[in-house]
Structure 1
Amino acid sequence: MASIACTPPVPAPEDAAGLRDRGRAALLGLAVGDALGAPAENLRPSEIRARWGRITGYVADAPSGTDDTEYAIFSGLLLARHGPALTPGHVEAAWHELIADRAEGPFRGAGFSERGTLENLRRGLAAPVSAQHRHAWSDGLAMRAAPFGVFAAGRPAEAARLVAIDGSVSHEGEGIHGGQAVAAGVAAAMTGAPVPVVIASALAVIPEDSWTARSLRRAVAVAHRGERAVRSAVVIGGYPWTDLAPEAVALAFGAYAAADGDFAEAVLTAVNMGRDADTTAAVAGALAGATQGSAAIPAHWAEAIGPVRGRCLSCVAGRHVLDVADLLVPGPAGKSTPAVPTTQPAEQPPLTRGRVVERGSRERSPLVGADSEGRP
């Protein structure tokens, strides 16, 4: 792979149809990577080989995404409603109304950072104090960061700004840096930028001496030697948890670099490295999907992705990542999708899947197209 020391600026975004396709590919790529990687989560490469040989496709009978896809949808819908005016208050309100203030219900499978955040919110702590828990450095923000890059196509710094706002309720420090690197990388990839520029864009928005930046640089420096070299360069041997943002983000970018942006190769490289495989493959899939567009995603992989089931977040049950992508990418005239205002005056009735409901029948939800119960 070419050096990232001196890279050209991010190219200008292409036409609306091209952006729409890249946005859909980024979020579909995230969901595909999540579903491919889920069975390999927390496994070592040797364990993966013992069970399946090398993973080259879905190994589950009914492949589906995890909390990675559901939280990406959650954050994507919130971003679609508020756009560049998103504030920590909007994020905190959505977490309260749609997750923290509800009975636990089907909330399962989420990571430690989400659990810690919910505990703090239920104790009455507000952002950014709600993010002060033992796993604030996790990859929980990185896994939901791709929608911010889709929305801010060609503007990596803006993508990084917005994802940090979203992350303020749940993460701090390296957890924020990981999300910013992913969001900025996707924003650059959305323009068709070459792989070195995507990587440079990710590094440009985080502190040069941060753990995330150091790990990311190490991963891409050895990417030409393959997945074993990438894994050896960044994995924290002996540490029991696999959700470290500096590690997971570096593995994802390393897989993306090793594949030179090729979608299938990037995702499968991430999957076969194990560790937090659903997240690393989801991030690699988002980067490669935005880089190559939807034609690069194998049809049989894409066809397995349906609306999410709400196994972790009931408020997004029935949502599809492609619908969210279409809300985030400008329409043909260069304007936001009409049914998704960035602000909604109080006198307007709420919106649900493009149709108006009776005023007073449901209170407006913080998420686009959801009623006050969080249903689509």
Structure 2
Amino acid sequence: MAGGADMRDRAMGALAGVAVGDALGMPAQTFTRAEIAATYGRVTDFVAPCRDHPVSHGLGAAMVTDDTEQTLLLADHLLRGEGQFDDRAWAAALLEWEAGVRARGLRDLLGPSSRRALDALMAGTPAEETGRTGTTNGAAMRIAPVGIATPPGAPARLVARVAEACRVTHNTREAIAAAAAVAMVISQGVEGATFEAALPAAMEAARLGATCGAAVGEADMAGRIALALEVALRGDEAALAAEIGTSVASRASVAAAFGVVRLAAGDPWRAAVIAANIGDDTDTIGAIACAMAGACAGIGAFPAERLARVVAASRLDLDPVVDGLLALRMQQGGEQP
């Protein structure tokens, strides 16, 4: 079990991982592996997106996208509610965030399914109904704060907290199972586990998550993750992309993120580089993979200069967020941070 200082180091690693993986993958998102190679060569450091990028236009090298911004938005929601979740307030926060993105002239907005779900909730549709078609990775990409704030000892409680965070936009077995697996790795990592040691609990969380929400999408997310981990044993990045997929579907990109961490042998920066070149939803795969790797390896595993560039480029202030989330964890029976 991690001590207080180590727990904070690992929690910081999880949030930093979201930002680093997101920023490195940002210029390559939506591109195929071949297009990434033709446009950037192999991405091994932060670069600005190519001119007229369909999504990342307007961002600079080492800047984060919606993945990190929504992660911090969820953290803020949890902290404002002292751990309690308010569906309407969360929906309003997401819509306000999107309005801010538009005002900045950026293109990385809410996906159409999330936008419809939020509009429906604000129009009076019950939260249990609004997210019943959402199977994409939007919930998993921002779930790190729930993993940091929730101890892993009671898996059903952690999965319930994940399901709350998914409900408005991604209330399906596929999305909840995927997000639950990611949150459990992060929670286990903060507690002191390595990535490989955290996997059995993550599989259990995925199976529990698959019993929540609408019976829509992938029924066996744990099986998809297991397959991605098996493919990763070959050490072949291209095989992982081809056999698991890298699209916005949770069954593809979230499973692939697990494979990426194994390919990287748990190293957060290596995971970020693999994700940035794997194709399609590179920023989200990077954010998820690096959050898990960072939680299990700690903030010291990141190259300090590269982490500093991301923090400076997007003016991130992660320390108070981590402290607040660890305080919530302690209230639920976690160790003193």
Cα distance change on mapping 1:153 and 1:270 into 2, 3 Å: farther
CA contact under 8 A between 2:88 and 2:122: conserved in structure 1? no
Pairing partner for 1:272 from 267, 274, 277: 277
Shift of 1:113: 3.5
Q: Give the corresponding residue for 1:6.
A: none
Q: Give the corresponding residue for 1:306.
A: 311
TM (normalized to structure 2)?
Answer: 0.82
Shift of 1:63: 2.0
Q: Give the corresponding residue for 1:93.
A: 89
Provide, for residues 116-173 of structure 1, a one-character-per-residue CA deviation record: whole Å limited to 9, x for no partner. Answer: 222212432120112134xx00100001111111112444723322121011111122
- Paired with 2:154 and 2:244, the residues of 1 have a C-alpha distance of 24
Q: Give the corresponding residue for 1:200.
A: 200
- Paired with 1:187 and 1:102, the residues of 2 have a C-alpha distance of 26
Q: Give the corresponding residue for 1:77.
A: 76
- Paired with 1:280 and 1:327, the residues of 2 have a C-alpha distance of 26
Residues 1:106 and 2:105 aligned together = no
Residues 1:25 and 2:13 aligned together = yes
Cα distance change on mapping 1:211 and 1:75 into 2, 3 Å: same
- Paired with 2:96 and 2:16, the residues of 1 have a C-alpha distance of 30
- Paired with 1:18 and 1:102, the residues of 2 have a C-alpha distance of 32
Indicate the SS of the match to 2:266.
coil
Structure number with the higher helix fraction is 2
Amino acid at match of 2:4: A
Residues 1:43 and 2:31 aligned together = yes
Residues 1:213 and 2:222 aligned together = yes
Alignment of 1:192-341 (within 5 A): 192-207=192-207, 210-225=219-234, 226-235=236-245, 242-306=247-311, 320-330=317-327
Q: Give the corresponding residue for 1:239.
A: none
Shift of 1:214: 2.3
Indicate the SS of the match to 1:222.
helix
CA contact under 8 A between 2:8 and 2:190: conserved in structure 1? no
Give 1 or 2 for the bigger CA radius of gyration: 1
Amino acid at match of 1:247: A
Shift of 1:227: 1.3
Shift of 1:78: 1.6
Q: Give the corresponding residue for 1:164.
A: 163
Q: Which runs of 5+ in 2 are unaligned?
A: 49-59, 211-217, 333-337
Q: Give the corresponding residue for 1:346.
A: none
- Paired with 1:156 and 1:232, the residues of 2 have a C-alpha distance of 35
Percentage identity across paired residues of the two chains: 32
Higher mean alpha-carbon deviation, 274-283 vs 55-64, is at: 55-64
Q: Which runs of 5+ in 1 are unaligned?
A: 1-11, 237-241, 310-317, 337-376
- Paired with 2:275 and 2:153, the residues of 1 have a C-alpha distance of 26
Cα distance change on mapping 1:283 and 1:155 into 2, 3 Å: farther
Cα distance change on mapping 1:102 and 1:32 into 2, 3 Å: closer
Higher mean alpha-carbon deviation, 148-157 vs 18-27, is at: 148-157
- Paired with 1:221 and 1:273, the residues of 2 have a C-alpha distance of 17
Amino acid at match of 2:318: V
Q: Give the corresponding residue for 2:51.
A: none
Residues 1:56 and 2:44 aligned together = yes
Cα distance change on mapping 1:319 and 1:32 into 2, 3 Å: closer
Cα distance change on mapping 1:243 and 1:57 into 2, 3 Å: same
Shift of 1:255: 0.3
CA contact under 8 A between 2:23 and 2:61: conserved in structure 1? no
CA contact under 8 A between 1:27 and 1:322: conserved in structure 2? no
CA contact under 8 A between 1:26 and 1:290: conserved in structure 2? yes
Q: Give the corresponding residue for 1:126.
A: 126
* Alpha-carbon RMSD: 2.5
